[in-house]
Amino acid sequence: MTLAGLLDRERTIAPPGYNRWRVPPAALAIHLSIGQAYAFSVFSIPLSRTVGVTSSAPDDWTLSTIGWVFSIAIVFLGLSAAFFGSWLERVGPRKAMFASAVCFGGGFCVASVGIALHQFWLLLLGYGVIGGIGLGIGYISPVSTLLKWFPDRPGMATGLAIMGFGGGAMIASPLSVRLMEHFRTPTSTGVAATFGALGIIYMIYMMLGVWTVRVPGGDWSPPSRTRSATAGQVAAPKQHSVGVVAAVRTPQFWLLWVMLCVNVTAGIGVLGQASAMIQEMFPGRISVGAAAGFVGLLSLANMGGRFAWSSLSDYIGRRVTYALFFSLGAGLYAVIPSVGRLGSVPLFVLGYVIILSMYGGGFATIPAYLRDMFGTMQVGAIHGRLLTAWSTAGVLGPVLVNYIREYRIAGGVPKAEAYGVTMYVMAGLLVVGFVANLLVRPLPASVGEDLSTSGQG
């Protein structure tokens, strides 16, 4: 049996009686690893001192140059998810997860060589391009598989995996710091060796997921179908199995694209500015340390919201969940400037915790919404195409927040009040999302093919 044979879809079909709760750990092994991307900033300072070691030397890379590495990785995440989605559905999750592990781990190793040789293009190629492709394939592979294993609780299942992506940064950040301390010498920051070590660690850890993932057989059905977990959904998942090409031609796909884009834009815009924002809105009351603690709290809310909101959507329906995200979110964004003026730090923190939980929830609930709408046949490929909304929001969010803030400060507005307009713009974006969600209608029977009885697994 060759390696390629071991990775074949046919080899991953679960036998009768297989416990489906073994699949989420396989998914988490992938998402906990690739979630490292959110912790890339921990390398920013060490990477800017690879020549000077204790301080930046003239030949060292600048922080803005290093920032490109993360941006390129996110761009390639979106592109590879969109491009390889159909391939994933064809070859199955094991081969796709294997490719993801090799790209993500291998990308770290190539980047490590680039850092050691001080060749920026190698760092960009390794972490940004190769690693970014690993991110994209790894993000969609387990999600698609879980949706097929948990047709009765799709929100909970995808929330679990996508929570792992949020939690991955919490593992990567302290792990990377400890590795850099371990490898640091008087003549090296230790960051090159840390990249190499992380590449090997992540590749091995992701392989746990690769070798344990299974797909359900064609005649498999969940243990109990007595509870209706799809209350309020807008389309019957058993009646539609729509291919990716047909799906992207529907207005429903683009309405969901807009919803994901505005939800992520609003969340990502404030996430990147959270530390500066709380300090400037409460001058003299919030220290740099307390602001960093606030950012940590937001990360926890982001992670917890992925599982909590997505699981809740199984009970209240995807449409109601997103209606809550957009209405509650718009309201909170609109009142936060007033809370800042009132000087209430606890209310400010509470508001942001809820906002960030919904930001995470938006990411985690969208695959289940896609599954409700288009079925599970090619949901991985459709999810991959939809993630281009994430790439768009990744540029739009920070640009909106930074540009509006700088424009206001240049116009003579005090820093503490410079965020007000930004918050109102974000609230407006969420209203757009609310309307898009309202416009989502069940697919007409003419879209796609009815393959609900053909056992697509």
Partner 1 sequence: MDRDNVGRGERGAFGLVLAWIAVGAPLLWGVSQTVVKSLALMGR
Q: Which of 10, 224, 226, 445 binds partner 1 (CB under 8 A)?
A: 10
| 173 counts as binding partner 1 under rule CB under 8 A | yes
Beta bridge mates, 332: none
**Virtual CA dihedral for 298, 304, 308, 310, nearest 10 degrees?**
90
Q: Which of 122, 184, 188, 217 binds partner 1 (CB under 8 A)?
A: 217
The label of the residue with tokens 């003549």 reads 187
| 212 counts as binding partner 1 under rule CB under 8 A | yes
Task: Find the part of the chain contacting partner 1 (CB under 8 A) among 168-176, 239-247, 319-327, 419-427.
Answer: 168-176
| 300 counts as binding partner 1 under rule CB under 8 A | yes
Q: Which of 114, 167, 237, 384 binds partner 1 (CB under 8 A)?
A: 167
The label of the residue with tokens 């979110």 reads 329
Burial of 31 (0-12, 13-18, 19+ CB in 10 A): buried
Looking only at residues 28 through 87 of this chain, which bind partner 1 when binding is defined by CB under 8 A? Answer: 28-29, 32
d(CA 277, CA 261): 22
**Closest distance of CB 349 from partner 1, Å:** 9
Q: Which of 22, 182, 227, 441 binds partner 1 (CB under 8 A)?
A: 22
Tell me the C-alpha to C-alpha distance, in Å, between residue 372 and each of 38, 155, 168, 233.
29, 10, 28, 7
Please check whether residue 47 is in contact with residue 191, taking contact to mean a CB–CB distance below 8 angstroms. yes
| 16 counts as binding partner 1 under rule CB under 8 A | yes
Please check whether residue 155 is in contact with residue 370, taking contact to mean a CB–CB distance below 8 angstroms. no
**Closest distance of CB 56 from partner 1, Å:** 26
How does DSSP assign 194-240, residue by residue?
Answer: HHHHHHHHHHHHHHHHHHH--B--TT---S---S---TT-SS-TTT-
| 174 counts as binding partner 1 under rule CB under 8 A | yes
The one-character DSSP state at 36 is G
| 207 counts as binding partner 1 under rule CB under 8 A | no
Task: Find the part of the chain contacting partner 1 (CB under 8 A) among 213-221, 222-230, 316-324, 359-367.
Answer: 213-221
CB nearer partner 1, residue 170 or residue 425: 170
Q: Which of 293, 316, 320, 395 binds partner 1 (CB under 8 A)?
A: 293
**Closest distance of CB 377 from partner 1, Å:** 18
- C-alpha 15: how far from its chain's center? 32
d(CA 271, CA 260): 16
Q: Which residues bind partner 1 (CB under 8 A)?
A: 10-11, 13-19, 21-22, 25-26, 28-29, 32, 164, 167-175, 208, 212, 214, 217-218, 287, 289-290, 292-294, 296-297, 299-300, 303
